[in-house]
Each structure stands twice: as structure tokens, then as C-alpha cells.
Amino acid sequence: MIYNRGNRADFDALVALGNPGWGWDDVLPIYRQMENHALGAGPTRGAGGLLDISTATDLPQLCDDTIEAGVAAGLKRTDDVNDSDEERIGPAARTITRGTRVSSARSFLRPVLGRPNLTVRTGATVTQVLVEGDRAVGVRVTDGGTMTDQRAALEVVLSLGSLATPRLLQLSGIGDAAHLRGIGIDARVDSPDVGQRMREHRTVTLQYRLRGSVQITSADPTAPLDIDPQFLTSASDRQRTAALFRRIRDLFGLEPVASKIRRETVPGPGVQSDDEIVDAALDLGYCGYHAVGTAAMGPDPGDVVDSRLRVRGLRGLRIVDCSVLPTMVAGNLNAPIMAMAWRAADLMREDA
């Protein structure tokens, strides 16, 4: 529900990495077109779109005190945290309207459920991408114990997320050839970066490690994945984690919120050194469910997809989910993936 769009620098970095068409000036118009923001239209937000966005207008006193403490710490107070890239503090934007969560399905899918060229199936599991020669031609689906093959007229689009997409690619023989052969899968496309380069948020610290991984452990689609995010294994991540933790702790030591706090309970005032802070983040934190990068786009032959989200090594196969992001955005993935899907739809129409 949190609607953080990411910063200009996040998207411009995609272009700098060799992915034209994904810069902030390309993505901001998409955000503005799809948004129906309760604060109204402006240079950085939209109104009248399909996606309802709101912010809290009547904050509890404790929340307001925390914001004022942030101001005392040097942050700028704002009603819209997506309005600029300054160091800022304010109520979170969220996809909520009249007390009800607004999902992407409710905003974009439900209005077109009656289209004759759309079929929605739930409770079904895709277990394999069907390949003939060098082209993806469909998917194999299991549903209630029954297996069927669904053929695609133009192309197959995978939108399973940063964990399930690399799983399906590997099960279909697209991945590190040596690893696939080792578990009994014939390699169709040797693409070693499938499942690699994973980045993920650690909720205590919002820091990430560059080279986590996701690998299948068996040719059995129901077998568990081997997921290794490698949280806080680099010196730079550990240092930034400690610095950010201390800044948050300092903020809660400022008025008007400080006098409302009796004591720090977790991790507790005894946690002071960099190592103690990092250990607390690893022991007490958990993943942010914001994984990216496991099918990252880029211009190099080893990158899993190109800047048009087409899987290298096969025709007719495209990926539209956050696994294609080679870098992390500054925030949650709810907003970025909707904008990416909008952009991907344009790419598919252009390529049809």
C-alpha cells in the first residue's frame, strides 16, 4: 500500500547503465498519467488517473511529534514525500481510498475483465515456459492436478516477481548451464545471471547487498528455492547501516517526541558499536519483500534481459516485474512496478 516512487537518480541510473527509455523524464509522465492523487495534480503528481493515492490528513499526535523531531534534525517537512528528492519527512503516500486498499488489480485489471481477449485464471501454477527452437511459444500450467499447455500467438510475458520469475526461467532451462545440468535440467539458454545480482531491503536498516542469489534446488517445481540475500556482508553496507541507525536514534532523542519515550526497548541502549548495530539488524530484522535484480536488464550479452525487457537467447519471451531492475529504488516497489508495467505495455505495442 505504501506508494514511494523512487528518486530521479534511481531511474537515471538505469539509463547510465545502458537502458534507454527508463530515465526519470520517461517515467514521471507515466506516474502522472496513472495517478489520481488526493492532493491534486501538480508538476510531479497526477489527478484523474486510474490509481487512487492518498495521504493521512489527520495524524495522531505522536506521528506529528515525530515529524517535528525530524524537522529539528534538519529534515524538510512535506505533505507529499514523492514531491522532491530533498531530505524530507512527512506522512506516507499510500494506495488507499475511503479506507480501502487500492491494488493494481482493482485499478487496472478489474475495469477490463469483460474484454473478450482476456481470461483470468486463479489457483493455477505455471511450471514451464514452452520452447520450440529459439522461441518461447507458451507455458505449461497445472491446475487442480490437471496439466495443460497454453500457446501464445505473439509472445510470453512473465510477471511472477523477483523470486518466482528466476525459478520458472531455471525450470525451463534458462540459467546457469552448469547448475541446471547438475540438477538434471537440460540447458536451453546459458544465462548465468538468472537468479543472481539480487538486492533486497533489510527492514531495520533499509540497506542492501549487491550479490544475493536465487537458485532452484531440483527439477521439481515444488522444491524449495535456495535464497541467499547476503544481507550486510559488505563493509560499506555495514557502515551505512550503523550510520543510518544512529541518525534514527538521534531523531527520537529530539523534542517534541523525546519526552514521549520512556526508554528504547529494541535493540536497547546497550547496542552502541557498529558490530553490535549490524548484529541487531541481522538478528532482529527481516527482509523487506523488495527483492530486485534476479533477471536484471542491461546492454551486455550476459544481462538476462535487454532494455525492452526481452529475454536474451530466446525470441518471444519478455519479463515485466521487478526482477529486471539492476539497481534498487529508494523506497518500496509498489509504485515503480506499476509504472514499469505501463512502460512495458508501450514497448509491447511498439514491437508487435
For 268-281, what is each residue's pLDDT tens digit?
999 999 999 999 99
Indicate the pLDDT class of residue 287, thresholds 50, 70 and 90.
Answer: confident
Residue 310: exposure state from Cβ atoms within 10 A (0-12, 13-18, ≥19): buried
- pLDDT of 207: 40
Indicate the pLDDT class of residue 202, thresholds 50, 70 and 90.
Answer: confident
User: Can you tell me the mean pLDDT for 59-67?
Assistant: 94
- Does domain 123-231+288-351 match CATH 1.10.510.10? no
Q: Where are the domains of the chain?
A: 8-111, 123-231+288-351, 235-284
- pLDDT of 118: 94
Contacts for 80-84: CB closer than 8 Å, 24+ residues apart: 80/37, 80/39, 80/44, 80/45, 80/55, 81/4, 82/3, 82/4, 82/5, 82/44, 82/45, 82/335, 83/42, 83/44, 83/45, 84/44
Judge whether residue 203 has pLDDT over 90. no
- SS3 string of the chain? CECCCCCHHHHHHHHHCCCCCCCHHHHHHHHHHHEEECCCCECCECCCCCEEEECCCCCCHHHHHHHHHHHHCCCEECCCCCCCCCCEECCCCECEECCEECCHHHHHHHHHCCCCCCCCCCCCEEEEEEEECCEEEEEEEEECCEEEEEECCCCEEECCHHHHHHHHHHHCCEECHHHHHHCCCCCCEECCCCCCCEECCECCCCCCCCCEEEECCCCCCCCCCEEECCCCCCHHHHHHHHHHHHHHHHHCCCCCCHHHCCCCCCCCCCCCCHHHHHHHHHHHCCECCCCECCCCECCCCCCCECCCCEECCCECEEECCHHHCCCCCCCCCHHHHHHHHHHHHHHHHHHC
User: Can you tell me the mean pLDDT for 211-234?
Assistant: 91
Strands 213-215 and 226-228: antiparallel
Inter-axis angle of helices 24-34 and 8-16, to 10 degrees?
A: 130
- How many whole angstroms separate alpha carbon 351 and alpha carbon 308? 9
> Which residue is associated with the grid cell 557502515?
239
Indicate the pLDDT class of residue 206, thresholds 50, 70 and 90.
Answer: very low
Residues listed for the chain: 352
- How many whole angstroms separate alpha carbon 170 and alpha carbon 176? 8
User: Can you tell me the mean pLDDT for 23-27?
Assistant: 97
Judge whether residue 300 has pLDDT over 80. yes
Strand-pair partners of 24: none
Indicate the pLDDT class of residue 330, thresholds 50, 70 and 90.
Answer: confident
- pLDDT of 205: 47
Judge whether residue 146 has pLDDT over 90. yes
Judge whether residue 10 has pLDDT over 90. yes
- pLDDT of 210: 62
